[in-house]
Every structure is written in structure tokens, then in C-alpha cells.
Amino acid sequence: MDAPVRVAREPQRSGFDRIAEAISQFVSRGAFFTASLVAVLIWTPTIVLFSSVDTWQLVINTFTSVLAFLLIALLQNSDRRYDDALHEKIDALAAALADFMEHESQPDSDPELLARHINELRAAVRLEERL
């Protein structure tokens, strides 16, 4: 009894997924923190340019709120892709383990089927980086 074989597919990433991944990589590095710190340091002395403290605070609050909103959306995209890859990897592990156990219990089982499942399992390694 041969179980259906799922072939690991190369995921199709949209332009948004590629942009979200690039931004996610950038904001997780020290350069983004440094740029954020520099922006705050440049903003701090600009209080002398504004007629009221409320306007001065509104500038930084608006900027950081918009930035936080966009980053949350991008990070959610990265999390979703990571979760999808993780689920696919776990499914591949479970299927490969079940097939291996079935293969070992039957002396006349198909070695090609086992080889295909081993290849599928290997293809699932580091899948989250390709999604």
C-alpha cells in the first residue's frame, strides 16, 4: 500500500513577500536601531523650531505611530510565512517517519518510494528561508 507522495514545491513569493522579508531583515539589525536613535537625537533639539510643545510632540508621535503600524503589518507577513513553512516541515517529518516505519515493517517494500520520501524530507529542511 503506497501512500501518496507530496513533492516539496519551490514556493512562489509575491513582490510584497520579498519586500516584507527585506524590510524584516533590515529592521532586525543594529543599523535600524541606530537610524531610529539618530532620528530621535535629531528631533530632540527641534523644540526651538516649534511654537508649542504639543506640536513638537505630535511630529514624533505621528512618525513613530505610522512606522509602528507599517512594521507590524510587515512582521505579521514574515510570521505567517514562517508558520506556513514550519507546518509544512512538520507534515513532511511526520509523513517521512510514518513511511519509514511502514517500510521497515514490510520486508518487500519499495526502495524507490522510501528514497522519494527521504528526498522530500531533505527538501523540507530550511524551508522557512525559501518562503
Helix (H) / strand (E) element for 66: namely helix 53-105
Can you tell me the mean pLDDT for 39-49?
A: 91
Identify the pLDDT of residue 33.
94
Identify the pLDDT of residue 90.
85
Identify the pLDDT of residue 112.
80
Task: Tell whether the model's pLDDT for residue 58 goes beyond 50.
Answer: yes
Task: Tell whether the model's pLDDT for residue 10 goes beyond 70.
Answer: no
Q: Which residues contact 59 (CB under 8 A, 6 or more apart)?
A: 43, 46, 50
Taking each continuous run of H as one helix and of E as one strand, the counts in the chain are: 5, 0
- CB-CB contact of 6 with 120 (8 Å): yes
Identify the pLDDT of residue 80.
87
Provide the CB-side half-sphere exposure for 37 (13 A, CA).
5
Residue 88 neighbours by CB distance under 10 Å:
19
Q: Which residues contact 44 (CB under 8 A, 6 or more apart)?
A: none
pLDDT digits (tens, 9 = 90+) for 103-122: 676 777 677 877 777 777 77
Identify the pLDDT of residue 1.
45
Q: Which residue has the cell 509602528?
A: 68
